[in-house]
Structure 1
Amino acid sequence: MREINLIVIHCTATRSDQPFTQANLERSHRERGFNGIGYHYYIRRDGSIKSTRPLDKVGAHARGYNAHSIGICYEGGLNALGKPADTRTEWQRHSLRVLLLTLLRDYPGCKIVGHRDLSPDLDGDGVIESHEWLKSCPSFDAGKEYSSLK
């Protein structure tokens, strides 16, 4: 079994007014050269949680962090105009929280971050600030929102 110390939250960076199915996600990742979906879990707008990669298999979701992390992606992340926005539905918020609590029971002590929080600290001040993000994903502050989960 892999040693897991990080849970990384992602979004599909797709518009909130357009569905992005699991099949769409699979096709998108294969087109990028991945061997299937790179995330371990996918949360659809209706809150359904799809297991998309076995936890014992290294993910393909956060370069440099895949070996010791679990990747979770939610459908959305862009508003109807295509701009980054927290588009999570009430059901997605609930399902993501339940999934995180479950994973933390199995992998205690994991740090929860958003993909954007793994961007390089360009000015070296120890904080990844918004001007340093390589991506806006997941379009909300995952580390702050889930910091109280144990």
Structure 2
Amino acid sequence: MAKLKYLVIHCTATPEGREVSSADIQHWHCAPKPKGNGWKQVGYTDMFHLDGKRERLVNNNEDAEVDLWEVTNGAKGYNSVSRHIVYVGGCDKNLEPKDTRTEAQKKAMEEYVKDFHRKHPSVRIIGHRQLNASKSCPSFSVPRWLQQIGIKQ
């Protein structure tokens, strides 16, 4: 068990407008290599679909600790102290990084992040690329977005 330090925002790195299912995530992350990553657990706790619906992918107890059974594989080296969420999209039709969040996704993510921040004000909310500069994920500036929605860290 470790203290929760980060809420990391990700994108699925899929083309704009293409829906992704929890089964897709399960396959991509947990299928044996070379078809998947061969992980024991998916990378995200919650996924925001194109219509704004939030789907729980991995249960957690919503406290400020990361128990072993709650660990997801979202960012190597940070998983034991992080919760990871993902929105469907993040790329244009050529798979180049692009903020493809629908209005429904933006609204649902804002509600989730504000509620999370109220419950855990000391937890830093960041984008995946803030932990790994070689990543484009989540294809938008999380610090700028947090300012726009009124969250100061």
Displacement of 1:13 after TM fit? 0.4
1:49 aligns to 2:62 (yes or no): no
TM-score by length of 1: 0.84
Cα distance in structure 1, aligned partners of 2:143 and 2:83: 14
TM-score by length of 2: 0.83
SS at match of 2:112: helix
1:23 aligns to 2:23 (yes or no): yes
Cα distance in structure 1, aligned partners of 2:122 and 2:135: 26
SS at match of 1:134: coil
Q: How does 1:1-150 map to 2 (within 5 A)?
A: 2-30=2-30, 31-55=36-60, 56=67, 57-119=70-132, 133-147=133-147, 148-149=150-151
Task: Note the residue ranges of structure 2 that are not aligned, 5 or more in a row.
Answer: 31-35, 61-66
Task: Note the residue ranges of structure 1 that are not aligned, 5 or more in a row.
Answer: 120-132
Displacement of 1:109 after TM fit? 1.5
Q: Decide whether the 8 Å contact of 1:44 with 1:74 is kept in 2.
A: yes
Cα deviations across residues 88-133 of structure 1 (Å, max 9, x unaligned)?
00000011111111212222211111101112xxxxxxxxxxxxx2
Root mean square deviation, CA, Å: 1.5
Q: Which AA in structure 2 matches 1:139?
A: S
Cα distance in structure 2, aligned partners of 1:66 and 1:36: 11
Q: Decide whether the 8 Å contact of 2:8 with 2:83 is kept in 1.
A: yes
Length, aligned pairs only: 137
Displacement of 1:2 after TM fit? 4.3
Any runs of at least 4 consecutive aligned residues in structure 1 with deviations exceeding 6 A, and if so which?
none
Q: Which AA in structure 2 matches 1:3?
A: K
Q: Decide whether the 8 Å contact of 1:16 with 1:78 is kept in 2.
A: yes
State the percentage of identical aligned residues: 34
Q: Decide whether the 8 Å contact of 1:58 with 1:67 is kept in 2.
A: yes
